[in-house]
Amino acid sequence: MGYHAPVKDMLFCMEELAGLEQLSRLPGLADAGLETARAVLEECARFNEGVIAPLNAEGDRRPSRYEQGQVLTTPGFADAFSQFAEGGWQGLSHPTDFGGQGLPKTIAAAAMEMLNSASLSFALCPLLTDGAIEALLTAGSEEQQQLYLPKLIAGEWTGTMNLTEPQAGSDLSLVRTRAEPQADGSYRIFGTKIFITYGEHDLADNIVHMVLARVTGAPEGVKGISLFIVPKLLPKADGSLGERNDVHCVSIEHKLGIKASPTAVLQYGDHGGATGYRVGEENRGLELMFIMMNAARYALGIQGIAVAERAYQKAVQYARERVQSRPVDGSLPGSAPILHHPDVRRMLTTMRALIEGCRAMAFAAAAEHDRAHAEPDAEARHRHQALYEFLVPLVKGYCTEISLEVASLGIQVHGGMGYIEETGAAQFLRDAKILTIYEGTTAIQANDLVGRKTLRDGGAAARLLAQQIAATEAELSDRPSAAARAVLRRLKPGREAFEQVVEFVLREAKAQPNAVFAGSVPYLMLAGSLVAGWQLARSLIVAEERLAADHDRAFMEAKVATARFYAEHLLVRLPGLRDSIVEGADSALGLELEAF
Ligand SMILES: Cc1cc2nc3c(=O)[nH]c(=O)nc-3n(C[C@H](O)[C@H](O)[C@H](O)COP(=O)(O)OP(=O)(O)OC[C@H]3O[C@@H](n4cnc5c(N)ncnc54)[C@H](O)[C@@H]3O)c2cc1C
């Protein structure tokens, strides 16, 4: 099935929720107004709908293949990647100094969503390249930046993230890959990395591996990890390609989903040592990796929204076409398209409300990121950064978890045909499942939310968020409409539930860590759902204003309906979640270890 990019909803989120026009008044973002956004999104939609989306099912049927050290990607991927690079899409949000277009994340997020809706498997290669670019921008030496960034930003070379080893997944303190210092300042790298996305492929001339390793004699644990660039082909000073480095792909995995994206086992140093160049200071690798991970975690949340959107579009199309059973209200004399059945409408509305809520949350988070970089006032920058960092685990954790719910509902709407592979609905669910696992499982995001994002600042960012939500409640309470009242009725107890959980976490984390961490994923889900519902409440206020001015009636009426649905069917769950976190902590750990 084709993909139709939801440009209108994206522009609505950017304009009305993320405040793109105000953003474009900040220093350095003058070219990033609504007109630019519209032009970029329309072009991006054309490219993804026409070039990438048709490859998605093919990637599932004909995954990447491993042949004698080489990886051959799905037919069509290499050509599409050339077009992606030539179109300048890799450089959208990267600095103009290195050949990028310098657009804010608020616009880049929409482009990222389209690419991922078109094909998650394809989009992973640029996504990881973005991570490598971020790390080099933050900590690369000037020489490293000059050598690598223009090539990565142009899409001539691609990047990878090499964290995982057989014994080191969520726990990177166990990384064993070794780096031996050489007289010329470089290092020899030895070790095995597993699960490396696009660790080998035929899409670009070179692959720049960003590798976590331990310098000989470094301390144990995370304090002894450094970050290295290990290029597949060693570049000469002028950027031309030289010798093959001693890093080799020994196999790729067979997977549940994202089958076109090669997941490589990489062997470093079997033939004397791979040449690596340290990025940043020795033993500070994990901090740098976190920079890459933060960028990648945000992008993964976008992946969740993207695959959910594609699943939704397919389900709607099927629900219009499939004729089965007479409507219960007798509105049609005989069997009708299943879209007429209230339960099918409930499923489709749930899918749509989750997607729109998550998109609104993610774009608003992107705006916090952009403000954290562009606001002239240091205190404002700090505030926006704190909010952005609080939102990253919610975007990653919540948007990816809901992608499973949405993709599963998508299959349900199809009935038996959804379970049959050739229909294509099943691929979305299989593809989506990885999103709650890589770049840190949902539990790891939740640990981040509790530890780094709630406890570390004594709940300051969480309270700031709650204040902003309360301000929206005040706006809602001034509105006479039934929809505004209905949303307020659920948003307020949802926000209060969030505040009570935050206080519980702050109060009990030391005394009862098990109780707090047993509720950490529910806390993440509560917070994510609240922020998404809040953004939809803001959408409702805007939509009612636009309706009063008789502007774009059908779109605005749908926004009001979606916001109300979200409040009455999803926000309504939050007080229950609060109860299970705060009052159900004992039973969460009621089964003794021996009982399993
Ligand atoms: C298709 C694919 C692509 C990948 N791409 C990359 C890549 O490009 N680069 C890379 O470096 N890695 C990559 N990975 C690895 C991925 O990031 C890890 O699989 C992931 O971080 C989880 O680690 P693990 O598999 O070792 O699971 P484990 O760490 O063994 O986790 C198993 C379970 O225990 C839970 N758990 C573990 N620790 C905790 C804790 N502290 N608190 C609560 N629960 C916990 C987890 O949530 C999970 O449910 C990829 C993996 C896959 C499958």
| Best residue for ligand 1 mutational test, from 124, 129, 130, 170 (most atoms within 8 Å of Cβ) | 170
> For residue 261, which atom of ligand 1 is closest to its CA?
1
| Residue bearing the CA closest to ligand 1, atom 23 | 169
* pLDDT beyond 80 at 1: no
- What pLDDT sits at residue 532? 98
Helices 425-432, 120-139: axis angle to 10 degrees equals 30
Q: Ligand 1 in contact with 434 (CB < 6 A)?
A: yes
Ligand 1 geometric centre to CA of 131 (Å): 18
Q: Is 159 helix (H, G, I), strand (E, B) or coil?
A: strand
Measure 571 CA to ligand 1 centroid, in angstroms. 30
- The residue whose CA is least distant from atom 21 of ligand 1 is 440
Ligand 1 close to Cβ of residue 494 (< 6 A):
no
Whether residue 418 is predicted with pLDDT greater than 90 in this model: the reply is: yes
Ligand 1 mean position, distance from CA 170 (Å): 5
Average of per-residue pLDDT across 483-512 = 98
Give the rounded percent of residues in the chain with a pLDDT score beyond 70: 100
CB 405 within 8 A of CB 419: no
Q: Which amino acid is at 460?
A: A
Using the atom order of ligand 1, give the atom closest to the CA of residue 169: 26
- Ligand 1 atom with least separation from CA of 198: 8
Do residues 165 and 191 make contact, with C-beta atoms less than 8 angstroms apart? Answer: yes
From the alpha carbon of 520, which atom of ligand 1 is closest? 43
Centre of ligand 1 to C-alpha 227, Å, is 19
- Ligand 1 atom 35: residue of nearest CA: 443
pLDDT at 251 over 80: yes
What is the amino acid identity at position 594?
A: E
**Cα distance between residue 218 and residue 28, in whole Å:** 41
In DSSP terms, which residues pair with 206 in a beta bridge? 157
**Separation between Cα atoms, residue 64 and residue 67, nearest integer Å:** 10
| Domain 7-153, CATH | 1.10.540.10
Strands (E), 381-432: none
Instruction: Compute the distance from residue 168 Cα to the ligand 1 centre, in Å.
Output: 8
197 lines ligand 1 (CB under 6 A): yes
d(CA 584, CA 522): 11
Helix (H, G, I), strand (E, B) or coil at 178: strand
CA dihedral 340, 343, 345, 350 (to 10 degrees): -170
Percentages (nearest 5) of helix, strand, coil residues in the chain: 60, 10, 25
User: What is the whole-number distance in angstroms between the Cα of residue 277 and the centre of ligand 1?
Assistant: 26
Helices 378-414 + 442-450 axis angle, to 10 = 150
Contact call for residues 274 and 370 (beta carbons, < 8 A): no
d(C-alpha 275, C-alpha 268), whole Å: 9
Question: How many Cα atoms are found within 13 Å in the side-chain-facing hemisphere of 566?
Answer: 32
8 A C-beta contact, residue 536 and residue 357: yes
Q: How many CB atoms lie within 10 A of CB 304?
A: 31
Average pLDDT over residues 555-575: 98
What is the position in ligand 1's atom list of the atom closest to the CA of 439? 17
Q: Average pLDDT, stretch 570-577? A: 98
> Which amino acids are annotated catalytic?
439
**257 C-beta closer than 6 A to ligand 1:** no
Residue type, 105: K
Q: Which residue has the tokens 């009570």?
A: 500
Q: In the prediction, which pLDDT does 30 show? A: 86
Please work out whether the CB of residue 438 comes within 6 Å of at least one atom of ligand 1.
yes
Question: Whose CA is closest to 179, among 319, 326, 56, 282?
Answer: 282
Ligand 1 atom with least separation from CA of 160:
8
**195 CA to middle of ligand 1, Å?**
10
Residue nearest to atom 43 of ligand 1 (CA): 443
Is residue 119 helix, strand or coil? coil
Nearest atom, ligand 1, residue 442 CA: 47
Strands 274-279 and 178-181: unpaired
Taking the domain 157-283, which CATH number applies? 2.40.110.20
What is the C-alpha to C-alpha distance for residues 49 and 31, in angstroms, rounded to an integer?
A: 26
**Nearest protein CA to atom 27 of ligand 1, as residue:** 169
Q: Is the pLDDT of residue 580 over 90?
A: yes
- DSSP element (H, E) containing 133: helix 120-139
**Is 174 close to ligand 1, i.e. is its CB under 6 Å away?**
no
Return the exposure string of 69-98: e unless at least 16 CB atoms fall within 10 Å of the residue's CB, then b.
eebbbbebbeebbeebbeeebbbbbbbeeb
How, if at all, do strands 206-215 and 157-162 pair? parallel
233-242, 284-293, 370-379, 442-451: range with lowest mean pLDDT: 284-293
CA distance 160 to 173: 20
Is there an atom of ligand 1 within 6 Å of 162 CB? yes
Q: Whose alpha carbon is nearest atom 45 of ligand 1?
A: 443
Determine whether the shortest distance from the Cβ of 173 to ligand 1 is under 6 A: no
| Ligand 1 centroid from CA 235, angstroms | 32
Q: Is 440 in the pocket of ligand 1 (CB under 6 A)?
A: yes
Q: Is 436 in the pocket of ligand 1 (CB under 6 A)?
A: no
Residue-wise pLDDT tens digits, 56-77: 999 999 999 999 999 999 999 9
7-153 matches 157-283 in fold? no
pLDDT surpassing 80 at residue 204: yes
* Mean pLDDT, range 78-107, rounded to an integer: 97
pLDDT range class, residue 31, cuts 50, 70, 90? confident
Q: Contact 105/23 with Cβ under 8 angstroms? A: no
Cα–Cα distances in angstroms (integers) from residue 339 to residues 279, 343, 352, 413, in the given order: 55, 9, 14, 9
Q: Is the distance from CB of 80 to CB of 155 less than 8 angstroms?
A: no
Cα angle 468-31-84, degrees, rounded to a multiple of 5 = 100
Write the pLDDT tens digit of every residue in 451-492.
999 999 999 999 999 999 999 999 999 999 999 999 999 999
In whole angstroms, what is the distance from residue 506 CA to residue 456 CA? 10
- Token output for 208: 């720049």
Specify whether the CB–CB gap between 464 and 290 falls below 8 A: no
pLDDT at residue number 294: 83
Find out whether the beta carbon of 520 lies less than 6 Å from any atom of ligand 1: no
Mean pLDDT in residue range 91-97: 96
Instruction: Supply the Cα-derived Rg of the chain in whole angstroms.
Output: 24
Q: Provide the 10 A C-beta neighbour count for residue 236.
A: 11
- 3-state helix/strand/coil string of 432-497: HHHHHCCCCCHHHHHHHHHHHHHHCCCCHHHHHHHHHHHHHHHHHHCCCCHHHHHHHHHHHHHHHH
Residue nearest to atom 17 of ligand 1 (CA): 438
Size of the chain, expressed as the number of residues it contains: 596
Phi first, then psi: give them for residue 453, nearest 5 degrees. Answer: -100, -15
At 366, phi and psi to the nearest 5?
A: -60, -40
CB neighbours of residue 334 within 10 Å: 8
Give the pLDDT confidence of 317-338 residue by residue, as tens digits: 999 999 999 999 999 999 999 9
Instruction: Specify which residues 274 forms β-bridges with.
Output: 189
To test the ligand 1 pocket, which listed residue (130, 171, 195) has its Cβ within 8 A of the most ligand atoms? 195
Centre of ligand 1 to C-alpha 89, Å, is 29
Q: Ligand 1 centre and the CA of 169: distance in Å?
A: 5
The answer to whether the CB of 267 is under 6 A from ligand 1 is no
Q: Where are the domains of the chain?
A: 7-153, 157-283, 444-588
State the distance from the centre of ligand 1 to the C-alpha of 558, rounded, in angstroms.
Answer: 39
Average pLDDT along the chain: 97
